[in-house]
Every structure is written in C-alpha cells, then in structure tokens.
Amino acid sequence: MRDVYAAFHAVERCAVPVIAAVNGLAYGGGTELALACDIVLAGRSARFAFKEPTVGLMPGYGIVRGPDVVGRHWTRYLALTGRDIGAERAERAGLVQEVHPDESLVDAAVALAAEIAAHPALAVQVGKAFVNRDTGGGFTESVDTTALLFDTDEHREAVRAFRAARGR
C-alpha cells in the first residue's frame, strides 16, 4: 500500500504537469490516479468510482485527496456508496476539467500539453508547486487503515462473492 500511495504522490509532486486522458472505466485506483493528476480530461465513455467499499475496503488515497479535489460531500458519496459517475457528472463535481468525444480525447490532451509546454517552464513548475504546497497530509494513517481492512473477514467474503458472481 505504501508503494501505491508513493506512486500517486509522485504523480502529484512531479515537476511537470501531469494530464490524465480517461476513457472507459476508471474504478478504484483509476479514480485515485485521476485525483493525483494536475488536469483530467475525460472521454464521454469515462466512468469514475471508488469500488473499494463494495469489497470491504476504503479508497485510502481517494479519501485523503478527494476532499481537496472534489470536496467532502462528493468524496463521501463516492467512498461510501461504491457507485460510479459518468464524465459529465465528474466534470460538475470538479474531478474532470474537460469532456471530449472518445475519439478526440487523446488529441485534446496532447494539444493541452503543447499549450502548457509553450509557457515558460519555470513559471509552470513554480505555479504547480505553489498550488501543491499543502498536499501530502494524512497518507500514513490512510495506508495503515487500508492495510488493516485487507485482513478482515468482511473483505475476504466480499471478494469471494464478487468472484462467484463473475464465475471464477
């Protein structure tokens, strides 16, 4: 868990802007990774969710970073229900900055990256660092709690039920 959180935190702390281009399902770690990115573009097919509560876990990184990105209410909604939301709803929540047709999503992300890259690099790096200056708290507690949840009967039973429902 610490390695996963460290990876998300590295994305957040990367000196250059990180743009996510999300098509299809971004469940669990996919939504958490989107929370770590600087800008999120989504194709119309994109779906975001924290599915962890459906298998007896919590979205550790998501509940730490979610309130900063989408606010406490949206974080609770996603973290407690396990429901998914589409691209347009994710845009209204503040998780996604732009929604594009799936077939033009990557082109839109590349164009946005080129636009940002045309700005003076130091201004971009300093601007990003300044916005991120207060991020990083709460991860240790979240990692420890998430690790404990992996070792519960509820989690094991939820995983068994999930596998049985999928015929595995």
Asked if residue 136 has pLDDT above 70, the reply is no
Band the pLDDT of 113: cuts 50, 70, 90: very high
What pTM, to 2 d.p., does this model score?
0.82
Confidence (pLDDT) at 143: 63
Question: What average pLDDT does this structure show over 14-43?
Answer: 96
pLDDT digits (tens, 9 = 90+) for 62-83: 998 999 999 999 999 999 999 9
Percent of the chain with pLDDT over 90: 61
**Distance, CA of 27 to CA of 164 (rounded, Å):** 20
Asked if residue 19 has pLDDT above 70, the reply is yes
**Quick one: which H or E segment has residue 68?**
helix 60-69
Tokens of 120: 């003076």
Confidence (pLDDT) at 145: 63
Asked if residue 41 has pLDDT above 70, the reply is yes
Confidence (pLDDT) at 134: 66
Residue 66 contacts residue 35 (beta carbons within 8 Å): yes
CB neighbours (10 Å) of residue 62? 27
Confidence (pLDDT) at 138: 55
Of 37-46, 49-58, 93-102, least confident by mean pLDDT is 49-58
Confidence (pLDDT) at 91: 98
Question: What average pLDDT does this structure show over 102-120?
Answer: 97
Band the pLDDT of 168: cuts 50, 70, 90: low
Burial 94-105 (b: 16+ CB within 10 A, else e): ebbbebbeeeeb
Question: What average pLDDT does this structure show over 94-114?
Answer: 98
Asked if residue 139 has pLDDT above 60, the reply is no
Q: What is the mean pLDDT of the chain?
A: 89
